[in-house]
Amino acid sequence: MFRKPLRRLLAPAAATALLGAVLAAHSPSTAEAAVPDTIPLTVTNNSGRGEPVYIYDLGTRLSTGQQGWADAAGTFHAWPAGGNPPTPAPDAAIPGPAAGQSTTIRIPRFSGRIYFSYGQKLVFKLTTGGLVQPAVQNPSDPNRDILFNWSEYTLDGSGLWINSTQVDMFSVPYAVGVQRSDGTTATTGHLKSGGYNGFFSALRGQPGGWAGLIQTRSDGTVLRALSPGHGLETGALPATVMDDYVNRVWQKYTTSTLTVTPFADRPGTKYYGRVSGGVMNFTDASGAVVTSFQKPDADSVFGCHKLLDAPNDQVRGPISRTLCAGFNRSTLLVDSDQPDTTAANFYQDTVTNHYARAVHAQMADGKAYAFAFDDVGNQESLVHDGSPQQAYLTLDPLN
């Protein structure tokens, strides 16, 4: 089923607004009326590659909650009923630009993904529950040997959010942008010169299984690096890869207090964590326990889920987001006041999310979505505007 990119694409307030748009009919406000039903997206192919490019705009229509796809004109098409086993989805491919060229399509009010592939069309199927996304951590996935990537976006009455994401994998590079109503353009996602090869070199040089995240085709073509959470699934990374760091955190906060201030705009809202009986309990200012966490394993840390689940509430979710960022960036031992937003402190422990470290190190602006809550402390590769005039997706060179 299509996964709405709420938790990693939108700030909490925006996520709430989006859920309201999906779940309840409402009269558009003046601000919402100012955002058109579709906006242009210009895809520019600076990859230097000669293969044909295919573009897909897949997502959830915000006015109805239907899953489907949009054509080049921005017209919505609902998916037909799927089956079990999954049935082929309609061909939603839009011809993309040749090398050195641009193609402009229109994107509708969606919470969705812009996929793009080189050389081959992607294979999408439908189950009775909806669209089956590519899952290349599975060696039998039909898209395993295709060079592709995607951006996540939401266009609603509050404007456009569009990101460059590495939450699931690092693959062919691209950047995103939005032209604001004043004519200026905000962009993010470009790599440093040599950053593509630099990223893979960093993984290859990192002992402990990290090089096993890299997937290649039989002809030797590098396709992607899986995120560490998927690396646990494939066996590339050992399940114990984060245990040493987690154990040290749990030990420290048996005798110290971890203070979490989860809302930058509400500095007076604080929660206090202490480990007792193997459980980290968080209390509020009154001393009442508001939520508790079992010691997380690597899968919970890398995925920001399971033992670090983050519901869309005002207490556990924000605390969990902060813990997740602290574990992935390995800042919980150097700063007992979280979140730590000083990038120089990130990824300094020998036990850390080395995938995220390598991604951020190669980004031109240092911003990335290398794990689900990389937006804690505004480290994410995301652009937003409340009155977008134009969106951009630029396919960059693989060097």
- Same-domain status, 368 and 341: no
For residue 57, the tally of other CB atoms under 10 A from its CB is 24
List pLDDT tens digits, range 242-292: 999 999 999 999 999 999 999 999 999 999 999 999 999 999 999 999 999
- Same-domain status, 149 and 287: no
168 is known as an active-site residue: yes
Based on DSSP, count helices (H) and strands (E) in the chain, helices before strands.
9, 24
Establish if 167 belongs to a structural domain: yes
Establish if 171 belongs to a structural domain: yes
- Tokens read off for 33: 């009326």
Establish if 384 belongs to a structural domain: yes
Establish if 228 belongs to a structural domain: no
- Same-domain status, 136 and 282: no
**Confidence category of residue 11, pLDDT binned at 50, 70, 90:** very low
Structural domain ending residue among the three candidates 330, 350, 370: 350
- Same-domain status, 26 and 156: yes
Listing DSSP states for 102-144 in one string gives EEEEEEESEEEEEEEEESSPPP-EEETTEEEPP-TTSTT-TTT
Establish if 70 belongs to a structural domain: yes
- Same-domain status, 291 and 372: no
List pLDDT tens digits, range 45-88: 999 999 999 999 999 999 899 999 999 999 999 999 999 999 99
User: What is the predicted pLDDT for the residue at 101?
Assistant: 98
Q: Domain of 285: which CATH number?
A: 3.30.920.50
- Same-domain status, 318 and 342: yes
Spatial separation of the C-alpha atoms in residues 359 and 375, rounded to whole Å: 14
Mean pLDDT across the chain:
91
List pLDDT tens digits, range 328-386: 999 999 999 999 999 999 999 999 999 999 999 999 999 999 999 999 999 999 999 99
At residue 10, φ and ψ (nearest 5 deg) are -115, 145
Q: How far lies 336's CA from each of 252, 266, 267, in Å?
A: 10, 18, 16
Establish if 213 belongs to a structural domain: no
The boundaries of the domain holding residue 369 are 6-207+357-395
Q: Note whether 123 and 95 are within 8 A (CB).
A: no
Total number of domains in the chain: 2
Strands 258-260 and 337-338: parallel
Catalytic residue, candidates 152, 299, 380, 396: 152
152 is known as an active-site residue: yes
- Same-domain status, 38 and 150: yes
List pLDDT tens digits, range 282-333: 999 999 999 999 999 999 999 999 999 999 999 999 999 999 999 999 999 9
- Measure the CA angle with vertex 371, ends 66 and 63; round to 5°: 15
The partner residues of 282 in beta bridges, in order of sequence, read 273, 291
Residue 173 identity (one-letter amino acid): P
- Same-domain status, 249 and 144: no
User: What is the predicted pLDDT for the residue at 32?
Assistant: 52
List pLDDT tens digits, range 155-182: 999 999 999 999 999 999 999 999 999 9
- Same-domain status, 155 and 277: no
SS3 160: strand
Residue 198 burial (10 A CB sphere; 0-12, 13-18, 19+): middle
User: What is the predicted pLDDT for the residue at 24?
Assistant: 31
Catalytic residue, candidates 57, 156, 168, 299: 168
Establish if 38 belongs to a structural domain: yes
Percent of the chain with pLDDT over 90: 90
Residue 283 burial (10 A CB sphere; 0-12, 13-18, 19+): middle
- Same-domain status, 320 and 386: no
- Same-domain status, 30 and 149: yes
Establish if 177 belongs to a structural domain: yes
Q: Domain of 157: which CATH number?
A: 2.60.110.10
**Confidence category of residue 98, pLDDT binned at 50, 70, 90:** very high
- Same-domain status, 168 and 290: no
